[in-house]
Structure 1
Amino acid sequence: MDVSEVDISVTDVKTKRVPGLGIAFTMLACFFFSLSSIAVKLIEDVGVYTLSLSRFGVQILILLPIVTYRRNDVDILGPDGLRKILWLRGLFGSLCVSTLYLSIKMMDVGDAVTIAFTSTIMLPLLARIFLKEKLTVVEIALCFASMFGVVLIARPAFIFRGSSYKTVNPVGVLIGLVGALCQALSMLTIRKLGKTDAAVNIIYFSVFGCVICFPIIAFSEGVSYPCAGDLLFFFSLGVLGIVGQFFLILGLRYERAATVGVARSIQVIIAYIMQVLILGHIPSVMSLIGSGIIFVCCVILGTTRVIKDRRRNSAAK
């Protein structure tokens, strides 16, 4: 899941709605985000932070000329009153990408992507804490249900001792949950940023990512280089991220944000399909059940938002 770049500010753009088109664009975004996760898994001899640095660097190289060309319309530093929020968005967004890559290296791709999607369930809880938004009983119930799904994916030894199911690396699960928390916090900052240009938004999180990755690579992980066969995957990470973001923005232009949120849940299914077809890794029954629970929780939460959105629009009329 590459939700670190979701820019819901584009929902303010008035575009004629074409039935099904926004959903189709969202599906394409999910495809490219899942492909990016598979690419991370395929590159075996390169450190996680080097992979993250490749992604952040390619995104800057692609977007900086675009923002420079549009300098009369876009301030690369962002709006005056929102720059501190942009710093937070950059911090949480870059941490989200790095932790997602770490969890993918330690777990199956489908499991890692599914755990990352718990950020959708965490968001209402964080919105209650930081934005004082109302938290419903349904949202609380979905949070507990999704955590049960995570337990089935992780299969901790103290619960599944003596069973035939292989336990998942608990560190990978914990890192995945930390990444989901960072993603939820990143989404909160994006909500505060409002109409900030999407390119500026992504450049901030890419620059912060480079600042974080450089010292870790220099003093901890060490410098590593991809072999000739992995170069395509190595440099594709940033391209796939931007292409996925492009289609997601198009989806948000043609469809409500809540509806797109429901459609994006399909990325869980796409990730598992790619895991089987490309990597040849067959998920366990418990992983599929746990992922199914989290998937259903995301769909229910998104559907309730769609209903609320339509009621609000009807009341406004």
Structure 2
Amino acid sequence: MAHENETENDENVHDVEETLPAWKSVWRNNKGVFFILISECFGACMDAIARFMQQGGVAMHPFQIMFFRMGITFVLSSLYMWWTSVPNFPLGQKSVRGLLVLRSICGFVGLFCLYYSVHYLPLAEATVFRFLVPILTAWACSIFLDQIFTRKELIAGIIALLGVVIIAHPAAIFGRVDDTIDTNQAGTVDDVTPTQRIIAIVASLVGIFGASGAYTSIRVIGNRAHALISVNYFAFIVTVGSTVALLVIPGIGFVMPQGARQWIFLVSLGVFGFALQFLLTAGLQLDKSPKATSMMYMQVIFALAFDWAIWGVLPGGWSFLGGGIVCASTLWSALQKSGVKEKKKEVVDEESALLGAQAQGSEEVAQRRGNVDI
């Protein structure tokens, strides 16, 4: 009888879908994918705004951009969690507060290095480097959480590092190469010296270690803290840390935005940051398939579009080749693990889709360890 009712319900759903317009049917069947796609667009928009505000007439420091982005995200996230009565809001369980602070400090390093690097690198290149985070996190989880770091993950990591070297194309190996294509010949991008470029690439790599530390901490925490509580810790510490840096470090200071457009840009940073986290969390809950995982790599396409539309530049041949190698190797590694079935529906964080089976296993280890504090 129960089987007949289930069959009847499936037939009714099928009949309803047949009566829906084509676009509504596509939306209904791929809602999670679209959420992830929109969230990646918001991520690319934030990076573009951060780069524009650093290179514009105001020339804001990365700390000030971080202050606006994470300060607004903190307010919106706090209001949302208060309104929806998220458990253990605002501080989370006592046993994981130390890990949440560690996650936030590592995230602070990662975010600063990202915003520093986008001043000197095209958005697409700076975005590609972030795809090294899942592989490095999987390696870190193998050390701290006794997870298996597979041979395929090791191979993917080595190939991705080769891609990074190709993107950097140091003169000692490749000779002196101007690898930026100016599509409008208007000189719209500040001249970047080879030294500045290498420093920006090194900063990106340091940021990868920071982001990996953040997500390794998230894996240790597991489901003992709501994803937005983790975001809130991160937003609060970045806001406080950037404020202290602006007040203490000589020669930085707070630059007042000039005009309504700059205020709109800065407020948009915080709104987009919250929207990214909200939509990505919802999207990864609705769809954990390889199709959803691949959508996270669309941010590179959005970044390329902004590079061309705003600054009139595109990465040259070496950068395209290296970026393609990094994306292909990390996506291949992620899809190897995407077929693992989830034991239960959980709130996920930004890297859950890319970490795949590694994320699930590490959460199980964290649960077995009980209350972990640092």
- Normalised TM-score (structure 1): 0.86
Aligned mate of 1:218, from 247, 252, 261: 247
One-letter amino acid matched to 1:236: S
For residues 288 and 224 of structure 1, the distance between their equivalents in structure 2, rounded to whole angstroms, comes to: 36
Aligned mate of 2:215, from 173, 177, 187: 187
1:83 aligns with 2:97: yes
| Alpha carbons 2:179, 2:319 under 8 Å: kept | no
For residues 283 and 309 of structure 2, the distance between their equivalents in structure 1, rounded to whole angstroms, comes to: 27
Aligned mate of 2:76, from 62, 78, 84: 62
Aligned mate of 1:209, from 224, 238, 242: 238
Whose relative contact order is higher, 1 or 2, with alpha carbons under 8 Å and at least 6 apart?
1
For residues 310 and 83 of structure 1, the distance between their equivalents in structure 2, rounded to whole angstroms, comes to: 29
For residues 202 and 128 of structure 2, the distance between their equivalents in structure 1, rounded to whole angstroms, comes to: 13
Give the aligned partner of residue 6 of structure 1: none
Are residues 122 and 259 of structure 1, via their aligned partners in 2, closer, same or farther at CA, if it must alter by over 3 Å?
Answer: farther
For residues 33 and 234 of structure 2, the distance between their equivalents in structure 1, rounded to whole angstroms, comes to: 26
Give the aligned partner of residue 264 of structure 1: 296
For residues 91 and 258 of structure 1, the distance between their equivalents in structure 2, rounded to whole angstroms, comes to: 31
For residues 65 and 86 of structure 2, the distance between their equivalents in structure 1, rounded to whole angstroms, comes to: 33
Please report how far the alpha carbon of residue 92 of structure 1 lies from its aligned counterpart in structure 2 after TM superposition: 1.5
One-letter amino acid matched to 2:233: Y
One-letter amino acid matched to 1:254: L
Give the aligned partner of residue 5 of structure 2: none
Structure 2 residue runs of 5 or longer lacking an equivalent are 1-27, 181-193, 345-374
Aligned mate of 1:234, from 241, 258, 266: 266
For residues 261 and 91 of structure 1, the distance between their equivalents in structure 2, rounded to whole angstroms, comes to: 27
Cα deviations across residues 188-236 of structure 1 (Å, max 9, x unaligned)? 1122222322322111001111232122212222222222132211221
Q: Give 1:13-162 correspondences, 5 Å limit.
A: 19-43=29-53, 44=55, 45-70=59-84, 73-162=87-176
One-letter amino acid matched to 1:182: G
For residues 176 and 288 of structure 2, the distance between their equivalents in structure 1, rounded to whole angstroms, comes to: 47
Aligned residues: CA RMSD: 2.2
- Normalised TM-score (structure 2): 0.74
Are residues 81 and 28 of structure 1, via their aligned partners in 2, closer, same or farther at CA, if it must alter by over 3 Å?
Answer: same
**3-state SS, counterpart of residue 194 of structure 1:** helix
Cα deviations across residues 66-91 of structure 1 (Å, max 9, x unaligned)? 33345584421101211111111111
| Structure of higher CA gyration radius | 2
**3-state SS, counterpart of residue 169 of structure 1:** helix
Q: How many residues align?
A: 295
For residues 144 and 132 of structure 2, the distance between their equivalents in structure 1, rounded to whole angstroms, comes to: 18
One-letter amino acid matched to 1:224: V
For residues 277 and 124 of structure 1, the distance between their equivalents in structure 2, rounded to whole angstroms, comes to: 36
For residues 261 and 284 of structure 1, the distance between their equivalents in structure 2, rounded to whole angstroms, comes to: 27
1:247 aligns with 2:275: no
Cα deviations across residues 250-281 of structure 1 (Å, max 9, x unaligned)? 11111127664332122122211222123322
Give the aligned partner of residue 360 of structure 2: none
For residues 82 and 157 of structure 1, the distance between their equivalents in structure 2, rounded to whole angstroms, comes to: 46
**3-state SS, counterpart of residue 149 of structure 2:** coil
**3-state SS, counterpart of residue 134 of structure 1:** coil
Q: Which moved more, 1:272-281 or 1:135-144?
A: 272-281
Structure 1 residue runs of 5 or longer lacking an equivalent are 1-17
For residues 251 and 48 of structure 1, the distance between their equivalents in structure 2, rounded to whole angstroms, comes to: 29
Q: Which moved more, 1:112-121 or 1:164-173?
A: 164-173
One-letter amino acid matched to 1:147: L
Cα deviations across residues 141-178 of structure 1 (Å, max 9, x unaligned)? 11111111111111212112244547571110011111
One-letter amino acid matched to 1:292: G
For residues 86 and 306 of structure 2, the distance between their equivalents in structure 1, rounded to whole angstroms, comes to: 42
| Alpha carbons 1:259, 1:302 under 8 Å: kept | no
**3-state SS, counterpart of residue 67 of structure 2:** helix
